Copies of this chain bind each other. A is one copy, B any other.
Amino acid sequence: MKLKRLGDIRRKELRQAAFAVLEREGIAGATLEKVAAHAGASKGIVLHYFRNKQELFEHAMREANAVLCNAVVARLRQARTPIERLDAVIEGNFEEHLFLPPLCHAWLSLCAEVPRDEKLARIQKVIHGRMRSNLLSGLRGLTSVADADDIALGVTALIDGLWLRLGLQPGSVSREQAIRQVKGYVSARLAGQERPATGA
């Protein structure tokens, strides 16, 4: 196994520090100085490893996403049936050590900047695309293509919404509640797909 170059280590430390500061301070309060302090370094070092503030936080978003993504992928690897794959995605998105208010706060701050940062937008798009395709890998075979698409959209929205709720009112949604909620949604949709929806 190849040893890590010092630069890579620093970069990782710094983007983690950036994310940590984001959790506490939000995008407006997340300054280079604070990030440096949190990493136990000087401001200069931050700009030595990242061209500018934007780039730093773009990497912070990638980092955070990778963590969440790994949780899902790990579960996905052990899933055999479509239902198991579905559950893997759902449960992975609410893993105990991830489904926490601070993480959500940081994520929210980054999402709020998406409209003004092309790179962030691209990252966001990739993230969402992967979540969607993970879901579809389970939903195919359980229902028609059109319904699968529709349900996948619903599930992603529901998951995002539950995360948001956690961030806005910590404690109002438990991990178990969230999982039950999403699973309930999926099973209800799958069971009722042949019935038309309510009124216009």
Interface residues of A (CB under 8 A from B): 25-29, 83, 87, 101, 105, 108-109, 111-116, 121, 124-125, 128, 150, 153-154, 156-162, 164-165, 167-169, 173, 177, 180-181, 183-189, 191-192, 195, 197-199
A78, B7: Cα distance in complex, Å: 64
A162, B154: Cα distance in complex, Å: 8
Oligomer copy total: 2
How close is A54's CB to chain B, nearest CB, in angstroms?
11
A-B pairs, 4 with minimum CB distance: A157-B161, A161-B161, A188-B188, A160-B161
**At the interface, is chain A mostly helix, strand, loop or mixed?**
helix
B153 touches A160 (CB 8 A): no
A1, B188: Cα distance in complex, Å: 51
A111 touches B168 (CB 8 A): yes
A105, B165: Cα distance in complex, Å: 17
How close is A16's CB to chain B, nearest CB, in angstroms?
20
Q: Which residues from chain B contact A168 at a C-beta distance below 8 Å?
A: 111, 114, 121, 124, 128
